[in-house]
Structure 1
């Protein structure tokens, strides 16, 4: 299953994500199964710019490897979804373009 932070960021729930991080949610928790994503990958896929900013402020790993089935980094997910501002932000934080 997904962590509460992963679920909140996937849905773009900024205030819930903030609250969870204040209570020490693991910003870099890996996917729990073959279909999972990190919180940053989930937020990037949804184009949730403010949530992505929040996660990066809390030291989310911009280059976390994707799980086996999902297969996309945060940058790949944002690029595929056409989320230009998220792509720019990830690149500013040294996302690997290769």
Structure 2
């Protein structure tokens, strides 16, 4: 929870080339437990989530369960889910 949305403290990260309409990727070898997912479309390929002067993302972002709020991202508890076996999750970029 304390490392949620801190890119230098991400438990597991990866990237996948985006495919218009639907991009699928696997996150493998995660032990059972509580997690939250944050993803973004790195449209310009610079490996960073680009933001404007106010810190608002200029690239599409999405979270497991939670949604961006008027004044910032959701909290960890709003995005958290329990992983206890193989599961599939659909997340739509906004």
- The TM-score range, normalised by the shorter chain, is under 0.3
Instruction: Name the structure with the higher strand share.
Output: 2
Bigger relative contact order (CA 8 A; separation at least 6): 2
Q: Higher Cα Rg: structure 1 or 2?
A: 2
Instruction: Name the structure with the higher helix share.
Output: 1
